[in-house]
């Protein structure tokens, strides 16, 4: 299943990150592989390596993105402290 691409028709790093989140949600971290990412996005492995040095750098970007999302979520809870 291919996902939407950034405005230019080319994949963005975020497209790769979102595909990774979807794969992990569907099958767990063990299912996160380059071939599955490429299949999901409808591209070749060359596209993966254009954006990331290797799977380790991809996973680091995935974890960093996830942490940023969690930090934003936590900041919203701080904004609601006055309701307690």
As a whole number of angstroms, the distance between CA 51 and CA 47 comes to 7
What percent of the chain is modeled with pLDDT above 90? Answer: 67
- Note down the domain range covering 25: 13-83
Residue 1 inside a domain? The answer is no
CATH of the domain at 52: 1.10.357.10
Cβ neighbours of residue 35 closer than 8 Å, sequence gap 6 or more: 45
Q: What is the pLDDT of residues 47-81, one digit of tens each?
A: 999 999 999 999 999 999 999 887 676 676 666 66
| Nearest residue to 1 (alpha-carbon basis) of 12, 76, 15, 75 | 15
CA-nearest of 21, 45, 19, 50 to 34 is: 45
Q: Say whether 11 sits in a helix, a strand or coil.
A: coil
Task: Report the alpha-carbon distance of residue 18 to residue 62 in Å, rounded.
Answer: 9
Residue 64 resides in a domain: yes
Whether 68 is in a domain gets the answer yes
For residue 76, is it within any domain?
yes
CA 13 to chain centre: 8
Q: Is the pTM for the entire model greater than 0.85? A: no
């Amino acid at each position: 299943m291919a996902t939407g691409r950034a405005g230019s028709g080319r994949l963005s790093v975020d497209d790769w990150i979102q595909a990774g989140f979807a794969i992990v949600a569907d099958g767990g971290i063990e299912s996160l592989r380059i071939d599955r990412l490429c299949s999901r996005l409808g591209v070749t492995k060359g596209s993966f390596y254009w954006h990331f040095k290797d799977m380790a750098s991809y996973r680091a970007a995935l974890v960093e993105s996830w942490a940023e999302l969690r930090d934003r979520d936590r900041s919203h809870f701080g904004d609601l402290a006055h309701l307690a």
